[in-house]
Structure 1
Amino acid sequence: MRFFRSLSDIHTVTRRRCSVRARLALVLSMALNACTPSTEGHVSRQMNVADSGLPPVRLFATQVPPGPVRANNDLALDFIELSFRLESGRELPVFTRFEGPITVAVVGAAPPTLQPDLTRLVSRLRNEARIDIRQRASGPANITINAVPQREIRKVLPQAACFVAPNVSTLDEYRKARKKNKSSWSSLRKRERLAIFLPNDVSPQEVRDCLHEELAQSLGPLNDLYRLPDSVFNDDNVHTVLTGFDMLMLRTYYAPELRNGMTRGQVASALPGILTRINPQGNYAASRFATRTPGAWKRAIESALGPASSRTERRAGAQNALSIAKSMGWTDQRRAFAHYAMARVVQRDDPALAQQHYSRANQYYQATPGTHLHRAYVATQLAAHAISQGNGARALALTGPHIDTATRNENAALLSTLLLLRAEALDLENRPAEAQAVRLDSLGWARYGFGDDWAVRAKLREIAALNPLKG
């Protein structure tokens, strides 16, 4: 799943099988992983959910993210690599997608925020990706979204947060088909029926994040690429909702020039014309020709962030990832990610060294287009350290530029974390009234981002404990 997405200090990594597309919990999680909304400049809706005194859950208004600003040559290469290979490395022989109108249905005990989030996502897919997709209230559908307890998902895929599987509609059906070619993506020749399995007992943001990634992969790309800074199709898992890049990839998937059964070469031949038509500005951007990410680097990251790794293995993995990034000459988000991983690994034993790596990560992200959200996550770590040192002014300067970024990217966990950090910084600056207003503003977003009341209150205590005036 997402590198910057977990709400704890544990970084879990799962390997996707070729028979399913699972949303994994690979997260470069932060000591503070909530998000903080700004107190102005954004529009939100509220949903009342029974609680014991906290403000109601807040929901984001519809956002329309900008499209990617890069060359069509690069976009064509990204499309091919996303569409003709599974994350396991297995090549897919032909292109597959749905043909004709696509229907979606929800079964199971859906949490209250799932339907509003699904309605917004389907609307975006219709308007931005130009896909003919609709939700059905009942009856069979092309894509069946199963809302089930997390433990049921873990029984079949122990490390997956959620997943999608072809040629099935229910979890029982998947259990029976999982060892057969029937549920294998590599043997698929057209998409007609798929099932998505989402947990119904996690935070609203966790449910929505799974919904976006798994529905996108039901419709289109089955691979993830670390080199993509602005996409959910990336194992760093920074983005929580479909981006402009993702919508462009999905629109390309359903271009009339493409059809089921096309080979890699046939799709590659059609892409220049498709991208010229739907993304004409891409013909005038300079190509970057980003290098592929070697398997050794991916394995090093998994070792560095994996829950099964010992502390020695984690440090060795982070160091190896950083060495490979340097030897590859990377100066993009992958170099930044390696520094971030190293910072997370050494943070407990050597906070000063961790801050150096966070700063280096921020420098590389700053130099890489499309990484505003990544920088917001790094800012939470740098700001947390500033607060722990009693430097409220620095923490305010670090968090201020990223409130709007978290809002535009609809990341409530990150938004509430930023706001809570700002509240502590304001207390340090002897501005208690402002601190209390910002803290209160964070709570509705925290309820969407972290879920249960106890989790919200735990996050409040965690961030407050950074403040030396309260320690």
Structure 2
Amino acid sequence: MTVKSAFSRTISRPLVRALALVSGLGLAACDTVPLEDTPTRAQTPGLSLEPMKSFGTTRVQPPQRSNGNIAADFLALHFQLESGRDLPVFTRFETPITVRVTGSPPASLQPDLTRLLGRLRGEAGIDIRQVSDASANITIEAVSREEIGRALPHAACFVVPNVSSLAEFRRDRRKDKTNWANLRKRERLGIFVPYDSSPQELRDCLHEELAQAIGPLNDLYRLPDSVFNDDNIHTILTGFDMLVLRATYAPELRSGMSQAQVAAVLPDLLGRLNPRGVTVAAQPVVSTPRAWIDQVQAALGPGTAYQARLDAANRAAQMAQSWGWVDQRRAFGHYMLGRMLQTADPDLAQRHFTTAMQVLQSTPGTRLHQAYVTTQTAAFAISRGDGAGALAQLRPMRDVAAQAENAALLATLMMLEAEALTLLGKTDAARDLRLDSVGWARYGFGSDWAVRAKMQEIAALNPRNALGG
């Protein structure tokens, strides 16, 4: 697949740059850099007056797949690490679980943790509660991103067995006690999250790391409806995730069971917990070869030259096509290529996004994936002055982002919609929507400068702003 072709029409350099910046949302939603010279309105309206918004009752969709497929997923999640290394036995907590918070937690951590623990009790039936004493099973330590990076480079947050502080992990990181493969049951774990990230990034870390502290340790790219997936599309625990966690703590299972023993009880166990999955026909399980994962990691990893990343993304897309994949993994390769090509060849990038969307539209359970792609295609339409085309794409996706409780995505969709309305001459509606997006942007992107930068980036897509109009 070639990566270079002529622009079909001229786009100003500020717009090309802005398109590339908006394209970073999917995998770096909270890393936004202020742009000193980006063309935009003279002032961000009412930014200091809009408080941070938060989500109410979570609305998750129950899993739509066969219990046969869910059983295969359960085994793969519990009996392998992300590296591909096999785990010898099933592990979980065998007592009620206690959680405490240490370090320097920001104000947003406690309400998000309270909601998460409530969901784990209500939806997964897990006996888990927060305490203040040092004997807690799980310690969540809020530290700086710099400290996390020094302890484990390239990690946003992580969980380790048999430690209760980052200092203890640094001291014992090469000892058997911190090796997941040596674990036979879970008694004490440490979770390390960044206090200096956006509220949404911190919440996302709480969801994934606490779920892995008490449940599966693996991530599977084949899952379209789970946080146990390195594509980072889902940011809060889904209906599938809660079913997996409920099964993890079912009385039929116990720590120390082999994979064969767990597999033997899963059909009846899942039939009891998820009767609707009994009637759904099982689909062939298509595993994700390590070769494809390696190319994806090379394409998205930091510190790699652009051309090497582009080559890796091309190889991942070509592998998916040659293997006949027709699910979200096939779309992910095109999504990566579209993001990488936004500046060098916007038209080719859009063709990749169009291909990704076509695959996703024929794959059940991928509405959230489609919303991410829509931010790219709608941004391009706005840069071409097509407000009506952008609006038609954006409006159906706002509720998708809201249901997924993804404030960064929701705010971005709203800001893009505001620019589309501006192009159509509906300036009052655009102003109101832009102002309404600020509260969600505060949660999704964090600081005022990050919110302003995101608004400036998206305003720069509008050709009228880029041309000083």
TM (norm. structure 1) is: 0.90
Aligned to 1:319: 314
CA deviation map 1:212-262 (0-9, x unaligned): 000000010000000000100001010110000000000010010000100
Alpha-carbon distance between aligned partners in 1 of 2:30 and 2:235, rounded to the nearest angstrom: 18
Distance change in 2, residues 1:29/1:339 (3 Å): farther
Is residue 424 of structure 2 the alignment partner of residue 441 of structure 1? no
Deviation at 1:168, TM superposition (A): 0.6
CA deviation map 1:234-293 (0-9, x unaligned): 010101100000000000100100001000000000100100000011010011123100
Conserved in 1, the CA contact under 8 Å of 2:30 and 2:445? no
Deviation at 1:194, TM superposition (A): 0.3
Q: 1:224 aligns with which of 208, 211, 219?
A: 219
Deviation at 1:64, TM superposition (A): 3.0
The one-letter code matched in structure 2 to 1:241 is I
Alpha-carbon distance between aligned partners in 1 of 2:421 and 2:337, rounded to the nearest angstrom: 30
Distance change in 2, residues 1:287/1:222 (3 Å): same
1:115-134 pair list within 5 angstroms: 115-134=110-129
Q: 2:258 aligns with which of 246, 254, 263?
A: 263
Aligned to 2:236: 241
Distance change in 2, residues 1:440/1:27 (3 Å): closer
Greater fraction helix: 2
CA deviation map 1:305-344 (0-9, x unaligned): 2222212211211111111101111000000001111112
1:143-292 pair list within 5 angstroms: 143-292=138-287
Q: 1:366 aligns with which of 361, 370, 378?
A: 361
Conserved in 2, the CA contact under 8 Å of 1:54 and 1:453? no
Alpha-carbon distance between aligned partners in 1 of 2:444 and 2:61, rounded to the nearest angstrom: 24
Deviation at 1:138, TM superposition (A): 3.4
Is residue 457 of structure 2 the alignment partner of residue 458 of structure 1? no
Alpha-carbon distance between aligned partners in 2 of 1:10 and 1:356, rounded to the nearest angstrom: 14
Alpha-carbon distance between aligned partners in 2 of 1:351 and 1:131, rounded to the nearest angstrom: 48
Alpha-carbon distance between aligned partners in 2 of 1:181 and 1:64, rounded to the nearest angstrom: 41
CA RMSD of aligned residues (A): 1.8
Deviation at 1:10, TM superposition (A): 9.2
1:381-420 pair list within 5 angstroms: 381-420=376-415
CA deviation map 1:33-57 (0-9, x unaligned): 9xxxxxxxxxxxxxxxxx9824111
Alpha-carbon distance between aligned partners in 2 of 1:336 and 1:134, rounded to the nearest angstrom: 39
Alpha-carbon distance between aligned partners in 1 of 2:432 and 2:330, rounded to the nearest angstrom: 38
Aligned to 1:48: none
Larger Rg: 2
Aligned to 2:7: none
The one-letter code matched in structure 1 to 2:155 is A
Is residue 64 of structure 2 the alignment partner of residue 69 of structure 1? yes
Deviation at 1:140, TM superposition (A): 2.0
Distance change in 2, residues 1:328/1:428 (3 Å): same
Deviation at 1:370, TM superposition (A): 1.1
Report the number of matched residues: 434
Alpha-carbon distance between aligned partners in 2 of 1:8 and 1:215, rounded to the nearest angstrom: 31
The one-letter code matched in structure 2 to 1:462 is E
Alpha-carbon distance between aligned partners in 2 of 1:8 and 1:129, rounded to the nearest angstrom: 38
Deviation at 1:375, TM superposition (A): 0.4
Aligned to 1:333: 328
Alpha-carbon distance between aligned partners in 2 of 1:136 and 1:52, rounded to the nearest angstrom: 37
The one-letter code matched in structure 2 to 1:92 is L
Deviation at 1:28, TM superposition (A): 4.0
Name stretches of at least 5 consecutive residues in structure 2 with no aligned partner: 1-19, 33-45
Distance change in 2, residues 1:30/1:192 (3 Å): closer
Aligned to 1:82: 77
Conserved in 1, the CA contact under 8 Å of 2:195 and 2:202? yes
